Structure 1
């Protein structure tokens, strides 16, 4: 039997794959993303991505050029990420928790030609020490990114990239030195979605995912962006980073899958007496990024009658590559 990679056509653009597969009848008007008080359907996301691609092309972003994205999890992040790949160029998400020095380093190391960020980040980074940067696009201010893309024509064909061509870069956290860029190919997201989201977690079109890890992390990118899109599910975009805000989000949006990390599970348990989590919508809890202590796993099971499906992944492997199976989760084990 051919591998997932071999089943893909040699001419393959992963942005077109995830976007156009969700334009079929019964799915195109389905909600793809929840963001604050707004929702975006798959057809709207497709339209915004194509308009963004045209804007970036007019700015001179060419095939294999890099576009850096320094944003929290927002719709603009999604539009720019997919639009850059649609063009055959390469998005480079940057974690907003990085130091200013590391951000300057990534902008130089990636040789990003365009930066998408906010006015606040632009002010913090001024002067930007990169000879390669030609344009800075801002999501706020008088001429916002959204106002620019809504002026564009959406009729813009995707680049005829190959399945083993670089699609995007993700930088490591730099725990052993400077952040290092991991290059991921057009086929990689499909492989992770098939092997983990579908075959391991059983993700389906009625799911709504909520990820504590943000999209510049490999774990968060899969949880929020391409894995829900692989099955026509929905995802919640949130910048919450403490237990109280996460509990509020879960109560508000009623996700079916919680992609957490050990410290958040511990913090939610710690505030249970004053802010109990309503888990009635959740069918699955997942943990990664670091080892989940047995005590937390057992306490979560005792408190909420839910197993936590733990796995392990890396930036270089893109997502979780070793995992427990649903119904067979073993505390203290990554699979």
Structure 2
């Protein structure tokens, strides 16, 4: 294999007039899509972007995102996806750490880039959706000529998304052409593949590995059509699925919960959907049951991580166990190990009942396979912690997720080892929010935890000790966080307390805060 985008050339040659992208009443053929990726790649080269250079994409789900992603790869570059909800303080690390030399941004987001551009290597900014000072408008940026696809090796890095570790500091994940190509081919096989007449809902954010690989890449590499949505709205999603007769729907559990609870849910006909899948966080059994009762298509659950590109496990239409994350994909190996890296024995059949002593069956889930990342970018200590090798020299990635498996090969997640909060499918690392709270002049102490929430999975909740004499309010704390962090990270609840529960060594006892009714509030 060379550059993974060469796979699309085969589809273009075979079906040039087939729809590659559908968006707000317009359809773009594979021939049109492929031509524009070539023009974008040539424009990058003309701007001085060389093979191996990194280019940031700071956009919501738009056709231009799809073109830019493939154009960067076609030019031999490395994609650095960035959440369009991020503010300048959040993208500064991503651009600075990656060394990105160019950014494709929504026109309204260009000022966020300019605010920190002098502290990065970014020399080219492209604006989408309008003109912006200091940026070249997308249509003007496109070159007249098309660049031929630059050869890349299987082990060359194609994409560098960012995730956070236990410290909350974002780490660049080096995903290779082989990683992404494997996932784009393997993940659709759990539901009989993607066919030329399939239409995939593209509402999962494309900066997120789930949306990027399982919806966009898998659909285009198999010759289906991709229908992006810039933002989530349950009614608009249901309208789109019904009107365009979409056949494949991926989402996080909160999205399916919103569909079920839409006031007109019973009026929608989703008979066109032949596969629906939830990922990003644990799927509540009740949401699964209600979705199937309301809309009829079965709702499946899978599992994966950014570091595994992402899917490692999935339930299949002919091999499903509710409550489980399913079985490993073909070609991917998984096992459950204890602290000594010894394999834990399976249970006869899961899920286990309340009488089972979880400590006897639970361990950490580790993964090996062609989907596992190359490494973290410039993080030797993190890489050392992330991987272990068995006696045969096989490399295993530590997921830091606790679980067990049964004799039929189904895996079950029990808990996370760390304090990461998963809200609406997004990962929120408490320390990042806590660091910001500590910068507030009226905050003396703070801690952030996740509190169970039926819709989001967890709600970001802050416990704040006011500075002496301060009278800062809950609304002021929330506004402060909203002005400096992505919307989904801000605390939806703020509780003021006299002091935080701490151990004798000064560590906050977060388990006490999670049961916050027992905390003495002012």
Q: Per-residue displacement from partner, 1:137-162 (whole Å, max 9, x unpaired)?
A: 1113355212331x4212x2221211
Per the normalisation by structure 2, the TM-score is 0.59
Aligned to 1:6: none
Q: Per-residue displacement from partner, 1:10-53 (whole Å, max 9, x unpaired)?
A: xx111222x2111233x111001111122111111110011111
Aligned to 2:427: none
Q: Is the 8 A contact 1:94 1:103 kept in 2?
A: yes
Aligned to 2:303: 312
Q: Per-residue displacement from partner, 1:100-153 (whole Å, max 9, x unpaired)?
A: 32112111111110011122101234422433111111113355212331x421
Q: Secondary structure at 2:249's aligned position in 1?
A: strand
| Distance change (3 Å), C-alpha of 1:305 and 1:148 | same
Q: Secondary structure at 1:51's aligned position in 2?
A: helix
Aligned to 1:112: 100
Measured in 2, the distance between the counterparts of 1:37 and 1:62 equals 36
Deviation at 1:62, TM superposition (A): 0.5
**Among 137, 144, 147, the residue aligned to 1:152:** 144
Say whether residues 1:15 and 2:5 are aligned partners. Answer: yes
Q: Is the 8 A contact 1:86 1:159 kept in 2?
A: yes
| Superposition pairs of residues 1-335 of structure 1, within 5 angstroms | 9=1, 12-17=2-7, 19-25=8-14, 27-129=15-117, 130-142=119-131, 144-149=137-142, 151-154=143-146, 156-172=147-163, 177-273=168-264, 276-335=267-326
Aligned length: 321
Q: Is the 8 A contact 1:66 1:92 kept in 2?
A: yes
Measured in 1, the distance between the counterparts of 2:232 and 2:157 equals 31
Deviation at 1:169, TM superposition (A): 1.0
Deviation at 1:197, TM superposition (A): 1.1
Q: Is the 8 A contact 1:88 1:159 kept in 2?
A: yes
Measured in 2, the distance between the counterparts of 1:254 and 1:318 equals 28
Q: Is the 8 A contact 2:12 2:31 kept in 1?
A: yes
Higher relative contact order, structure no. (Cα contacts within 8 Å, ≥ 6 residues apart): 1
Measured in 2, the distance between the counterparts of 1:230 and 1:135 equals 29
Greater C-alpha radius of gyration: 2
Deviation at 1:200, TM superposition (A): 4.6
Q: Is the 8 A contact 1:114 1:136 kept in 2?
A: yes
- The structure whose residues are more often strand, as a share, is 2
Q: Is the 8 A contact 1:261 1:288 kept in 2?
A: yes
Q: Is the 8 A contact 2:61 2:231 kept in 1?
A: no
Measured in 1, the distance between the counterparts of 2:65 and 2:189 equals 24
Aligned to 2:519: none
Q: Which runs of 5+ in 1 are unaligned?
A: 1-8
Measured in 2, the distance between the counterparts of 1:232 and 1:68 equals 26
Q: Which runs of 5+ in 2 are unaligned?
A: 327-522
Measured in 1, the distance between the counterparts of 2:286 and 2:125 equals 47
Measured in 2, the distance between the counterparts of 1:114 and 1:197 equals 32
Q: Is the 8 A contact 1:211 1:223 kept in 2?
A: no
Aligned to 1:3: none
Q: Is the 8 A contact 2:191 2:275 kept in 1?
A: no
Q: Per-residue displacement from partner, 1:77-119 (whole Å, max 9, x unpaired)?
A: 1221111111211111111123432112111111110011122
Q: Secondary structure at 2:312's aligned position in 1?
A: strand
Q: Is the 8 A contact 2:201 2:249 kept in 1?
A: yes
Q: Secondary structure at 1:299's aligned position in 2?
A: helix
Measured in 2, the distance between the counterparts of 1:275 and 1:240 equals 23
Measured in 1, the distance between the counterparts of 2:295 and 2:66 equals 33
Aligned to 2:379: none
Q: Is the 8 A contact 1:52 1:152 kept in 2?
A: no
Deviation at 1:176, TM superposition (A): 5.3
Measured in 1, the distance between the counterparts of 2:16 and 2:173 equals 32
Measured in 1, the distance between the counterparts of 2:33 and 2:325 equals 35
| Distance change (3 Å), C-alpha of 1:183 and 1:88 | same
